[in-house]
Structure 1
């Protein structure tokens, strides 16, 4: 079974860089590369995922929410969930396009996507220019798939898609700063707070937790040059929960991973997580989970 991160004993580590946890779920739907005739006409429809539609050759006319957009080679259209759209040739000639539908649980990225003012990004735009290499890679991989997808192809697709999202973040950050700098700054600040909160989780392995402490949130606010109230408010607006609630979720996650390793006594887990005694840890775990650590273990491998 997996074990949570256990830092070396105090005094053994000369230097240390803690990388915040990466917990992102990405789902891809209906990815396809298609060349169509000049008579192509796809009816009005909508779907619950985001969509990127990228024209490689020719010209496409896309009608989104009753507004017409003309895509030429290298142009990219971003469709949001629920957008009504249809497609046809823009000049009566064949054209080739690549399409990918996706949803992702990264609230920062979704928040940024939802605030963009544009739907069409022309080939000359900074965003389309930034995204061309990963999109081209996805197209190249797609041309190798015939019938069932192999494990190698699936992993290469996922790798290319995450590369695409990395470029998206950088490119869209620039766009968001141009059109909604105040809003983007708030999202970026929430991201900084979240990263520091994840670092605090690991610090709990080294320091005693007191129930009446702020668990370092005040220190994070001071480090970022903001008030504690502003820190709480911005974090809740972006992530939908308070910094303290986020910390509790993270600590519960780490506690569960440690408890899943039956080789570790509960007393040892309690010490690893920074609690002053096993009774304190048991009370806190039951408050979070509705079960004591012992009851959680006895409930077996299906408790998650």
Structure 2
């Protein structure tokens, strides 16, 4: 985590990271671009970013501003499932979640503003307590909406994570390498491997993650395609092959369906 006061001319270029991030403005205004959507963040407003979200920032009004951000990762499947249901979103200072999390974030800001020599052991303990309180407040605000308190929740979430793991394997070609060239391994095959029906696979995944397995797979493929397109040492044809497409035309059509841009248009827009 860090606390920064930046000049009117400051800007941070587009980037992404593998952790979650809370970004909290204390003074002034910040303009955030998250996955090509613009958010104007004023004092007291809170933004939640998920792993892999591309984002950039600068002053929102041409004046200096102060912000605090905390990056975190978790391995609790209930919390992961909860956070995965939330789109990158701005919570204004008047929102319920900003009111609930504001006092906890203020305690974290106080610790982040400690003397440069490093935090003391007592501050470290307060830091850990504040982080757990942050998660507790987040859980209480969103758990009812996410319906994670019904009977069989843990079993359902465990199954949904198994499905997600196999979907990620599709993206990274872990399965295709073992299959004949004419095979079309997909979601129905994942359901069969797990001993469940395709309809149950779709239903459980949607209940836990808020989207269908097919939409999740498309989002992951789009993210991976963008990562590869950002590497200008690779041609679009090479990227098409790496992602398992038979030809560049098929990849281009699919990418445009996902993002409303062709691969070349996306690449040129980032130059």
Give the TM-score of the pair, scaled to structure 1: 0.51
Contact preservation (8 Å) 1:51, 1:100: yes
- Looking at structure 2, the residues matched to 90 and 236 of structure 1 have their Cα atoms a distance apart, in angstroms, of 42
Q: Which structure is richer in relative contact order (CA contacts within 8 A, separation 6 or more)?
A: 1
- Please tell me whether residue 115 in structure 1 is matched to residue 37 in structure 2: no
- Deviation per CA, 1:125-166, whole angstroms, max 9, x where unpaired? 111111011011111122224223322222111111111111
- Deviation per CA, 1:182-213, whole angstroms, max 9, x where unpaired? xx22x3226x655xxxxxxxxxxxxxxxxxxx
Is the partner of 1:130 in helix, strand or coil? helix
Q: Which residue of 1 aligns with 2:58?
A: 88
Correspondence 1:1-304 to 2 at 5 A: 31-173=1-143, 177=145, 184-185=146-147, 187-189=148-150, 194=154, 234-238=156-160, 240=162
Q: How many residues align?
A: 163
Contact preservation (8 Å) 1:108, 1:238: no
How far the C-alpha of 1:172 sits from its partner, in A, is 2.1
Is the partner of 1:74 in helix, strand or coil? coil
Name the Cα RMSD after superposition: 1.9
- Looking at structure 1, the residues matched to 27 and 142 of structure 2 have their Cα atoms a distance apart, in angstroms, of 24
Is the partner of 1:133 in helix, strand or coil? helix
Contact preservation (8 Å) 1:107, 1:238: no
Displacement over 6 Å in runs of 4+: none
- Looking at structure 2, the residues matched to 146 and 160 of structure 1 have their Cα atoms a distance apart, in angstroms, of 20
- Looking at structure 2, the residues matched to 105 and 160 of structure 1 have their Cα atoms a distance apart, in angstroms, of 18
How far the C-alpha of 1:120 sits from its partner, in A, is 0.7
Specify whether residues 193 and 66 from structure 1 end up closer, same or farther in structure 2 by C-alpha distance, changes over 3 A only: closer
Bigger Cα displacement from structure 2, 67-76 vs 113-122: 113-122
Contact preservation (8 Å) 1:32, 1:142: yes
- Looking at structure 1, the residues matched to 18 and 5 of structure 2 have their Cα atoms a distance apart, in angstroms, of 25
Contact preservation (8 Å) 2:49, 2:88: no
Contact preservation (8 Å) 1:131, 1:167: yes
Which structure has the larger Rg?
Answer: 1
Contact preservation (8 Å) 1:35, 1:97: yes
- Looking at structure 2, the residues matched to 237 and 127 of structure 1 have their Cα atoms a distance apart, in angstroms, of 29
Is the partner of 1:237 in helix, strand or coil? helix
- Where does the alignment leave 5 or more consecutive residues of structure 2 unmatched? 164-271
